[in-house]
Amino acid sequence: MDKFLLVGLGNPGEKYQENRHNIGFKIADALSIKYNAYFETMKYGDITSFKIKGRSIWLLKPSTFMNLSGNAVRYYLLKHNIKLCNLLIFSDDLHLPFGKIRVKGKGADGGHNGHKDIIEKLSTSSYPRLRFGVGSNFKTGEQSKYVLSDWSEKEIIKLNNFIELAVDAISNFCILGLDSTMSKFN
**Contact indicator for 62, 182 with CB cutoff of 8 Å:** no
Residues 6 or more apart whose Cβ sits within 8 Å of residue 87: 4, 5, 7, 73, 77, 127, 128
- Annotation marks residue 21 as catalytic: yes
CB neighbour class for 76 (10 Å; exposed up to 12, middle 13-18, buried from 19): buried
For residues 62 and 117, give the distance between their C-alpha atoms in angstroms, rounded to a whole number.
Answer: 13
Phi, psi of 44 (to 5 degrees): 70, 5
21, 80, 95, 112: which is the annotated catalytic residue?
A: 21
For residues 20 and 104, give the distance between their C-alpha atoms in angstroms, rounded to a whole number.
Answer: 21
**Contact indicator for 135, 97 with CB cutoff of 8 Å:** yes
Active site amino acids: 21
